[in-house]
Each structure stands twice: as structure tokens, then as C-alpha cells.
Chain A
Amino acid sequence: MTDSTPSTGLTAPKLRLGIRDGSDDGWGYAPAPESTDHVELRDRYGLFIDGEFVDAGDGRTFETANPATEEKIADVALASDADVDAAVAAARRAYEEVWSQLAPRERGKYVYRIARVLQERGRELAITESLDGGKPIRESRDVDIPLAAAHFFYYAGWADKLDYAFPGRGARALGVAGQVIPWNFPLLMAAWKIAPAIAAGNTVVLKPAETTPLTALKLAEIIRDAGVPPGVVNIVTGAGETGAAVVQHDDVDKVAFTGSTEVGKLIRRALAGSGRHYTLELGGKAANLVFEDAAVDQAVEGIVNGIFFNQGHVCCAGSRLLVQESVADEVISKLKDRMETLIVGDPLDKNTDIGAINSRAQLDKIEEYLEIGEAEGAEPFQTSCPVPERGYWCRPTLFLHASQSHRVVQEEIFGPVLAVQTFRTVDEGIAMANNTPYGLSGGVWSDKGAKAFRVTSRIRAGVLWANTYNKFDPTAPFGGYKESGIGREGGLAGLHAYLQPEAAA
């Protein structure tokens, strides 16, 4: 606050921004919870294999819980290797006998149908997503579900136009795809994986994350109700072992994984020399660079969207703020003020900005990093927002005066924690942005167009945003450099990942 403090000797001007629902601090917002009345959730969910819901062969289950209340929602079948075998066999049969024989235009119709039902049942899916995963309803309603539907719409359009996607080369499906997705965008990730795969003519076995299986299972219901032939999409639930069984299965032609770099490395090792195709979308530690000529208030908003969107559980989150030193005090002071207006709490409340941390394990990991950051000498700042007593919560957090050598700068925290550093020259900012094992995404804030283009072209990351952050579109490829992964999803590149070239007819 150094340059905003008046020289009169009076106390520094301060805005009363904190929003409470009580009346102690003036006008606050009363709770505005989304009604869950119309959402039907079963007590028990099976595996979706060959068009039917079945129990695990050995009858084992695991619990999925609401991270905002710590209460159990449902028992979910735990797939064993044998169940994965059955799912892959169903996918193989469906590929050979039905899906690869179907006219592409007919295939497209099914994909369009899934997209439409996703839209029709959008509200129910949004609520389920928030219940099971803890993300605020504002985001599941306005981002996750509409984008998931958009992916199905987009790839449905390609189904009968594959000959035009890669002119002169021709393309055909790979076969059976084994897909493993994370818990941060459960339905959206399922859409990213399933839509291009089946539109291109593959069949799939998908494993959702163990903490967030419900929307994928609702998607299975939608796929069944849409009349998609049995076996084209199979969904097997479980934890790491089930995932390992999917990606290592001999009869899987293509592996698509989104998750941690650690697991990504294991998968790449396991697949080496197998001849199987794979795409890996892994961790990130993106730099958000704010230059002195940026529109400051909009940059602050972009910083907030970059790190506090989805509790920071975003692989492309802008988790490192690099701000030019001449505007650092102003940016940081405004960022702190903006953070005071962020409401942490009930994910189903329409006014909630930051929901529940997805699981106990993830909260433990974030809290460990909060201790590490402090021990390393970075200066923590947290807002004063009250949080509920039960459930897993983390207030929005800054680590000021962080350094490149700090673990909170180098390692992915996957929580609402932003490491803040300053730079003096453009070159220094770019060098710091690139000094990371990751390379998934990044952001640049400048009112000068030429500078934005020059800087973005020098940052080694797959996705770069200028004067905005965390914008997604089904037509745009997404994927990383270095330890952030290999291959691209989304757009034409994402379609290509599910095809192999063939000699033109």
C-alpha cells in the first residue's frame, strides 16, 4: 500500500469490502441456495458396461461424499481387473460389429443427441457436479455443463466430415480408447474425452475420478437413453488401480489421460514400446505476467479468474503472478481488496465464489504447501472471509515475495494459492515465466497489442491468453509443453488424436 498512502499522516483510506451474510458489516447477501428437489440421486451406482449398469464382479464398492458436508452421497461400484476386461471386451465388440460399420452421419446423430440431452438436463447435472465435487454452482452452471455440451456439439459436426478434416490424407478410427479423467472438471473432462473419440468412430472405456464419479454416471444414463449402441461408451468407476487396468490393457488402442504429471510419467513408461497411441494432459504452474501498461483493474480480475476459478483445482491455473515492479504495489493492493469480496462457502449457494476443496486428501496437500511456503520465507496473506465448520475449505491465499527457488513457485499446489513475484524488465519476466518444469498455459496483461504478441510468442506453453484468462472453447486445441504433457485435445488437433491416417481412396 506504499504509494496509495496519503502523506497527511492520517490513517490510510480503507474500503469496507468484506461481505458477510450477517448485519454486522452493513448490507450482505442472504443465502441463495439452488434447490436440489428435482435432482434424483440413487444410493448405489453400478458400472456401465455394454449398455447396462452392473455391479462389480466381486461386489466391491466405494463411497462418494459431498466435500462441503463430508456426508456420503452414494455407494459406487469398484471395478476390478476383470470388470475392466469385460468393459474393454464390450468396447471391442461394439467397435468391430456396430460402430465402425455405421454410416458416419448416423454416428453424428447420436453425438448430437447426447449434446442436446446434456443441455436439457443441464440444471440437474450442474447441481450434481457441485454436490459431488464441491465447485460453486455459478461455475458448474455457467461453465462446466455448457462447455461439456458444446464439446459434444462441436465433435458431432465432424463425425461425417472426417474426409475434409485432413484433406488428401483420409483418416480412420483407432479402435478402443481407454480414458482416465481427473476430479476437477468431472463432466467436462468426460466430454473432452468421449466426444472426439466416438465422433471419430472409436469406442471407449472411461474411468472417472473416485471422488467425483456421479456426473459421468449420469452421462452414462444419458448415453443409454439416447439409444447409443451398447458397448460404444463404457464407464468403469474406481481408484488408481482401476485406472491402471484401463491404461495398461492389451486390447486398448489408444490411451488418453488427464491428471498428475507423476501418474503421467508412469503411464508413459508403461506404454513405451507398446505401439499404442496416447495423449497425456498433465500438471501446470502457469505464469500470469502483468506489465506496467496493463489495464490494472481488469488485470486484477484476470488474476482472480486465473487462480481462484474452481478453487484453483485447474491444471492451467495462473498460479504464479509475475508483476512488473513499477505497478506491483498497486496491483497487489487491489488484488487483496478484490479477494475480500470473494465468498467462500456452500457450493450450492448462487453467490459462492469459492466452493469446497474436493477432498480431505487434497486439502491436506494444500495445507502442507501453506506451511512449506511460510517456512521457505514467502509472506502469506489470506482473506478474512468466514468458512463453514464442516467440510473442506481453504481461503484464497497469496504468497508474497516468493522466489523461483521456492517450492510454492516450482510445484503445482492445485488449490487457491497464488505465488507472487515481481520482475523489472520484459526479458526478466519471460525468463521467470519459462523457468519451470511445466508448460501448459500462461497469461499476459498489457494494453499494448504488439507487446502482448511478442511476449506470448516467447513463452513456452501450450495455451496463452492475452488480457484474459481461463477461456475455453471446443474449437481451440489444449495441451502442454515439457512436463505438462504430450498431444492436444480440443479442436481439429483433438480430433486428430483419435484418428490414424490412411491412403486416400
Chain B
Amino acid sequence: MQTSTATASFESPPIDAVGVEERVARLCSRSIKKDAKLQALHLTLSMIDLTTLEGADSEGKVRQLCAKALQLHAALPDLPHVAAVCVYPALVGVAKRALEGSGINVASVATSFPAGQAPIEIKLLEVRKAVEAGADEVDMVISRGRFLAGDFAYTSDEIASVKEACGEAHLKVILETGELGTLDAVRRASDLAMRSGADFIKTSTGKIKPAATMPVVLVMLEAIRDHYLRTGEKIGMKPAGGISTAKDAIRHLVMVRETLGQDWLDPDLYRFGASSLANDVLRQIVKQRSGIYQSFDDFSL
């Protein structure tokens, strides 16, 4: 492998997993208290993609999720709203009607989520159908099989064609890092996705464990940073799966703050894909304001 400067910009740098874990441990030692904590909790809420991706999802469940997105906690009317509601393509229309005029986006998974094991024509058709139904954002999965086999050109072309099919909709590219095996592969997939048209890169489908671990997210953030410094283009980041507590979310914000800086602490560039995170954050906000922890039953599903 050549490592001269002439070719360096087309390759992904090596990643030392031990060093990454050490950096993560140091970031986790930051202590976020008082106003800084409250600010972080509000920020977290505004970055959530409230998600339901079950085979058993019903129109009723999606409407309920949208109602939650519109009003997170009736007792605290001054909270920010979440960034988006994320559903399967078949339920995009339901979500779109429920969120009309709210400023909350509808995101749809597509490309034969979660496995991505379908012909490209079908994937592209699914993307177009989701966008037609009103999806503002499309969360695609890469073909991990082709990527792991070393067919990077295929992966790149696939992302580029999905991007084209998205039209105006924003594209989030799910790498499914839990299936990639190494941090080197995570970095390579991140670089590939960003160069092929991703607006966001996203860790996981939420169907595979491990999902959004901190070392994986740090490597992706560093890839985004390097891409920005090289091109001036700001790519978004979405960890998804496994982030269920306010404490975890704040640790991720610290990591963003110290890797990408203040500009990325914005729902336009950072999202949490989560189903149960919102209520833990709400509970912490109530605790910060009143000094008392409420029962989880005091917060709506």
C-alpha cells in the first residue's frame, strides 16, 4: 500500500483500535453539570429521530409516535421538538399527515432495510416511493456483503444512485458497523459514503448488536472532520441503536464537541436514532428543574 502524499487523499488512514478506546475513555471522563447539562439535554431532544421500525408497526402506533414528537411532555411546554420521525416507507404517508406544518421531518428507511439484500432496481424504486409519499429524509443501508468482499466501486455506485433517486430528500447512509468487523472498515466505509453523496453517515439499523458504540462513532466523526477539512463540506452524523440514556447522549455530545466542534451541535448535522432515549432525557430535565426524579410512568410512550 502506497502512503505517499500524492495518493493519501484517496485512501483511508489506518486506525489504531487501542488508541481509539483510550481517547473515548478520556472523553467519557468529562463531567457535565448544572447549566451545561440542561443545555445538553435540550440539545439532545432537538436531535432525536424518534423511531419505530417493527414488522408490527400500525398506523395507530405511528400516529401516537407523531403525537409524542409534537408534544414530548405536556407538563413542560417550552421544550424543543425532535428533529424527525423515522418509519418504514409504507407508513410515511401516515406520519407526513400527522406532522403537517410542524417543522418535524419524516424520515424513511429504504433500500430493503435492514439487510439490504435486494436487487438495486427494487431498492431505487423503494426510495422513490418513499420520497413520493413525502419522506424528507431517506435512511439507506449499504450492501455490506459487497463492501466486505472488497467491491468498493459497487458500494460507491449504489450510494450515488440512491442519492440520485432521493431528489431533494436528504440521504443518510447506514454502514451497519456491527457487521463491518474492524474500525479500519468503519473508516473506509465512512469515507466511501461521504465521497459518494451521503448527507449523513449513520452507524446502524438498530437490528444488529453492537450498534452505536463510542469507538465506532468517534472514528466516523474523525472521518467527517477530515472530509470537511479537505473539502469544506459538512457531512452529518447519526448514531443509532444502543443510546438509551441521557448520560450516554451527553457523552456523545462531548465527543462531537471535541472532535468536530460547535458547528456540529445542531440537528441539521447531528441526530440520535433512538426509541427510548427521549423519555430518559425528559426525566433528567424534570430532575434538573425540580430536584426530583419522576416515575417512568409519568412520561408518555
A residues adjacent to B (C-beta < 8 A): 3-4, 6, 8, 10, 13, 15-17, 19, 21, 25-32, 138, 142, 292-299, 301-302, 326-327, 333, 341, 350-351, 447, 467-468
Q: Which residues of A contact B23 (CB under 8 A)?
A: 297-298, 301
Most buried by B among A10, A29, A468: A29
Known contacts being A8-B232, A298-B19, A341-B258, is A32 close to B4, with CB within 8 Å?
A: no
Q: Which residues of A contact B16 (CB under 8 A)?
A: 295, 298, 447, 467
List 4 tightest A-B contacts by C-beta distance, closest first.
A298-B19, A26-B262, A32-B31, A295-B16
Other contacts beyond A3-B9, A297-B23, A467-B16: 10, CB < 8 A:
A15-B261, A19-B258, A21-B36, A26-B265, A29-B36, A32-B33, A293-B3, A298-B23, A341-B258, A350-B29
Known contacts being A15-B260, A19-B258, is A27 close to B39, with CB within 8 Å?
A: yes
Q: Which residues of A contact B164 (CB under 8 A)?
A: none
- Tell whether, in the assembled complex, residue B257 and residue A27 are in contact, meaning their CB atoms are under 8 Å apart: yes
B268 within 8 A of A: no
Q: Which residues of B contact A298 (CB under 8 A)?
A: 15-16, 18-20, 22-23
- State A468–B23 Cα separation when bound (angstroms): 11
B225 within 8 A of A: yes
Count, A-B residue pairs, CB within 8 A:
103
The dominant DSSP class at the B interface is helix
Q: Which of B1-21 contact A (CB under 8 A)?
A: 3-5, 9, 13-16, 18-20
- Tell whether, in the assembled complex, residue A295 and residue B19 are in contact, meaning their CB atoms are under 8 Å apart: yes
A468 interface neighbour in B19, B36, B39, B43, Cβ under 8 Å: B19
- State A8–B15 Cα separation when bound (angstroms): 29
B278 within 8 A of A: no
- Tell whether, in the assembled complex, residue A302 and residue B19 are in contact, meaning their CB atoms are under 8 Å apart: yes
Nearest CB of chain B from residue A458's CB, rounded to whole Å: 21
- State A25–B33 Cα separation when bound (angstroms): 17
Nearest CB of chain A from residue B120's CB, rounded to whole Å: 32
- State A295–B23 Cα separation when bound (angstroms): 13
Nearest CB of chain A from residue B119's CB, rounded to whole Å: 38
- State A302–B257 Cα separation when bound (angstroms): 20
Most buried by A among B15, B16, B22: B16
Known contacts being A296-B13, A350-B31, is A28 close to B232, with CB within 8 Å?
A: no
- State A29–B39 Cα separation when bound (angstroms): 10
Which B residue's beta carbon lies closest to that of A10? Answer: B232
Q: Which residues of B contact A468 (CB under 8 A)?
A: 18-19, 22
- Tell whether, in the assembled complex, residue B232 and residue A6 are in contact, meaning their CB atoms are under 8 Å apart: yes
- Tell whether, in the assembled complex, residue B232 and residue A295 are in contact, meaning their CB atoms are under 8 Å apart: no
- Tell whether, in the assembled complex, residue B18 and residue A467 are in contact, meaning their CB atoms are under 8 Å apart: yes
- Tell whether, in the assembled complex, residue A142 and residue B257 are in contact, meaning their CB atoms are under 8 Å apart: no
- State A15–B253 Cα separation when bound (angstroms): 15
B262 interface neighbour in A13, A27, A326, A327, Cβ under 8 Å: A27
Nearest CB of chain B from residue A451's CB, rounded to whole Å: 12
Nearest CB of chain B from residue A468's CB, rounded to whole Å: 7
Q: Which of B253-267 contact A (CB under 8 A)?
A: 253, 257-258, 260-263, 265
B30 within 8 A of A: yes
23 residue pairs of the A-B complex, CB under 8 angstroms, read A3-B9, A8-B232, A10-B232, A13-B231, A15-B228, A16-B261, A17-B258, A27-B43, A27-B253, A27-B262, A30-B32, A30-B33, A30-B34, A31-B33, A294-B14, A295-B19, A296-B13, A297-B15, A297-B20, A299-B19, A326-B5, A350-B29, A467-B19
Which A residue's beta carbon lies closest to that of B234? Answer: A13
Nearest CB of chain A from residue B184's CB, rounded to whole Å: 9
- Tell whether, in the assembled complex, residue A142 and residue B29 are in contact, meaning their CB atoms are under 8 Å apart: yes
- State A299–B16 Cα separation when bound (angstroms): 9
Known contacts being A15-B261, A16-B262, A27-B257, is A447 close to B14, with CB within 8 Å?
A: yes
Nearest CB of chain A from residue B47's CB, rounded to whole Å: 12
Which A residue's beta carbon lies closest to that of B37? Answer: A30
A30 interface neighbour in B5, B35, B261, Cβ under 8 Å: B35
Nearest CB of chain A from residue B194's CB, rounded to whole Å: 14
Instruction: Mark B169-198 against chain A: 1 for CB-CB distance below 8 A, else 0.
Output: 000000000000000000000000000000
Nearest CB of chain A from residue B131's CB, rounded to whole Å: 30
- State A280–B117 Cα separation when bound (angstroms): 66
B280 within 8 A of A: no
Known contacts being A4-B229, A6-B231, A19-B258, is A293 close to B31, with CB within 8 Å?
A: no
Known contacts being A295-B13, A341-B258, is A13 close to B265, with CB within 8 Å?
A: no
Q: Which residues of B contact A31 (CB under 8 A)?
A: 33
Nearest CB of chain B from residue A118's CB, rounded to whole Å: 21
Known contacts being A16-B261, A27-B265, A298-B20, is A326 close to B31, with CB within 8 Å?
A: no
Nearest CB of chain A from residue B275's CB, rounded to whole Å: 25
Nearest CB of chain B from residue A17's CB, rounded to whole Å: 5
Q: Which residues of A contact B258 (CB under 8 A)?
A: 17, 19, 341
Q: Which residues of B contact A29 (CB under 8 A)?
A: 30-32, 36
- State A164–B284 Cα separation when bound (angstroms): 57
B230 within 8 A of A: yes
Q: Which residues of A contact B9 (CB under 8 A)?
A: 3
- Tell whether, in the assembled complex, residue B29 and residue A25 are in contact, meaning their CB atoms are under 8 Å apart: no
Nearest CB of chain A from residue B12's CB, rounded to whole Å: 11
Q: Which residues of A contact B3 (CB under 8 A)?
A: 292-293, 326
Which B residue's beta carbon lies closest to that of A471? Answer: B22
